Amino acid sequence: MTMTADQRLEKYGRSLDLEPKHFAAGAAITIATLLTLKSFGRPWWCACGSLVPWSGDINGSHNSQHFIDPYSASHFEHGLLFFLFLLLFPKLSLAWRTVAAASIECAWELLENSSFIIDRYRAATVSSDYYGDAVLNSLSDVIFATSGFLFSWLVVRHARLGWPVWVAAVVLCELGMVFTVRDSLAINVVMLIHPIDAIRQWQSGG
């Protein structure tokens, strides 16, 4: 049965209602994550010293060292998927689900920059020059993931947009990365879990 406008707003959240406590919780978790990453030995910024915020070469030493790179799209996609996952917790307010989305991304940043995952990337994917993210790149990833979560809320709460736009956003993130850098969130997961030689050769330009 089609939901009324009020039912959609009730299910997905009428307003964000962010209060100081939500900002404080999100900021505390994010800052703690960034300081932990720094303690892992991650640099604040690219060792090249260039202040250019964008890096487009995913196979070079600048990858994941600047504020924005092609993988920013995959972190935005994280937020889209976090929105779907957090619908499983309807008792959480939208504000706390936003904090939860940022927290999940922070947890991923810690895992992604662990020695185990870095070594896995280097061994199983074409990212043989990957040595972890710069701290400010990880901050960008958290921002993009949180933005993806909020974008999801903004579209699915409206009947005229709704889930078709959400699905289109996921597809756009995936295909956009496939056609620009021969990678995507789905491909990344596959290559980490069960590397496929044909995909690795394709990503290498073969």
For the stretch 160-197, pLDDT in tens is: 889 999 999 999 999 999 999 999 999 999 999 999 99
> How does residue 14 score in pLDDT terms, banded at 50, 70 and 90?
confident
User: Residues of the chain with pLDDT > 90: what percent?
Assistant: 71
Q: Determine phi and psi for 153, rounding to 5 degrees.
A: -60, -45
Q: Average pLDDT, whole number, for the chain?
A: 92
- Whether 5 and 159 have beta carbons less than 8 Å apart is answered as yes
- Which residues face 54 on adjacent strands? 68
Separation CA 71–CA 122 (nearest Å) = 16
pLDDT of res. 27: 98
Q: Residue 147 has which token pair?
A: 């933005």
Give kind and range of the element (H or E) at residue 165. helix 162-181
CA 101, 186, 206 angle in degrees (round to 5)? 145
Closest residue by Cα to residue 113 from 189, 27, 38: 38
Greatest CA separation for the chain = 57
Give kind and range of the element (H or E) at residue 11. helix 5-12
Give kind and range of the element (H or E) at residue 198. helix 197-203
Q: Beta-carbon neighbour count of residue 162 at 10 Å?
A: 15
Q: Beta-carbon neighbour count of residue 30 at 10 Å?
A: 21
Q: Over the stretch 36-49, which tens digit does the pLDDT of each residue have? A: 999 999 999 998 88
pLDDT of res. 7: 82
Separation CA 77–CA 82 (nearest Å) = 9
Q: Residue 195 has which token pair?
A: 């590397």
Domain coordinates in residue numbering, the chain: 19-35+56-203
